[in-house]
Amino acid sequence: MASRLLFNMVARILKALNTTGRELAGAGPQGAVPGGQDIDALLAGKARVMWIAAHPDDESFAGAILARASLYHGCPLHFLVLTRGEGGERCLPGLPGEDVPTQRSREIAEVARLYNASLELRSYFNAPLPVESFPPRHEIGRRWVEQGDPARVIAASIRNFRPDIVLTLAPEVGGTGHPEHQLTARFAMAGARLAASAESDLPEPPHRVSKSYFLVSKYWFMRRFGGGYDPRPWTEAFDVHLPCIGRMTCADVMAEHTRPHRSQDNDMAAMRRVAGLIHRIYLHETDPFGPQPDPLEPAAHGGMARS
């Protein structure tokens, strides 16, 4: 209780300090912008959107964009989640007899319904807490490959759903430093390449994703207090205060749709606070067919490594 009160106090201070201008200045310079429409214009054109994540609650990072896509613009939306989150904490119990992965699977299914999204949930290894015990990223990656190459799973999902836009966290920091966030981004880009390849033996015809984006953490307070801060420059900033449902903004919906994740109530309470103090979600548009980091690139550290 004391820690939550302290967090709430800090969040109130940050909300007062994080003006629109200060946030933008703290995000650093904008990177080169590829040609074409911004993401909201694409969504207005009913783009098909695919969210690729490691864990059943990771959609909370992108919730404002996902809400704008599906609930405001009516875009088809698909969630691909690679683990069932069995390594995570359990803040609040689920239904009688539910273990953690069953509870978290039910929670993400409820959230997907709130977003009007289809859901594909896989069962790759999820490193158990505490974070200090996490294996290095490449060791988790090798374990995932032994369970079945995630790039092929992602490519098959892309071919089946045929998205125009793919969203995922970034491959160097991944929002929080979690190695499985980083891995998912790396496998997502490998999957996008494989999905487009005419030489692949996967079912369904090849499909080339039009736009791929990493969500990059570019908030000055994350850098100031030692949290995740992605090195990639942002190429686009999505306004979380755009309208979504009735009088609710996209940020409001992003916050509200964290509530079914009862097992992760500590993190989700923090996400609700963050949704109220940020002004933008920063994106880095990337080319899956250009240079991309290898999923099995050796990482120097375990735990919540930053690279």
- Return the CATH number at 228: 3.40.50.10320
For residue 299, is it within any domain?
A: no
Token duo for residue 70: 């599906």
Which domain, by its residues, includes 43? 2-286
Burial 70-106 (b: 16+ CB within 10 A, else e): bbbbebbbbbbbbbbbbbbebeeebeeeeebbebbbb
Q: Looking at the domain assignment, is residue 238 inside a domain? A: yes
Identify whether 296 is part of a domain.
Answer: no
- Residue 300 belongs to some domain of the structure: no
58 backbone φψ class: left, alpha, beta (φ>0; ψ -120 to 50): alpha
Whole-Å CA distances, 295 to 41, 133, 149, 188, 290: 32, 20, 11, 10, 15
How many domains is the chain partitioned into structurally? Answer: 1
Lowest mean pLDDT among 9-18, 36-45, 135-144, 258-267: 9-18
Pairwise CA distance, residues 73 & 80, whole Å = 21
155: pLDDT strictly greater than 80? yes
pLDDT of residue 9: 74
306 occurs within a structural domain: no
Angle, vertex CA 161, rays to CA 158 and CA 163, nearest 5: 70
Residue 261 included in any domain: yes
pTM value?
Answer: 0.95
pLDDT at 305 over 80: no
Which pLDDT tens digit goes with each residue over 235-266? 999 999 999 999 999 999 999 999 999 999 99
> Residue 93: is the preceding peptide bond cis (ω within 30°)?
no
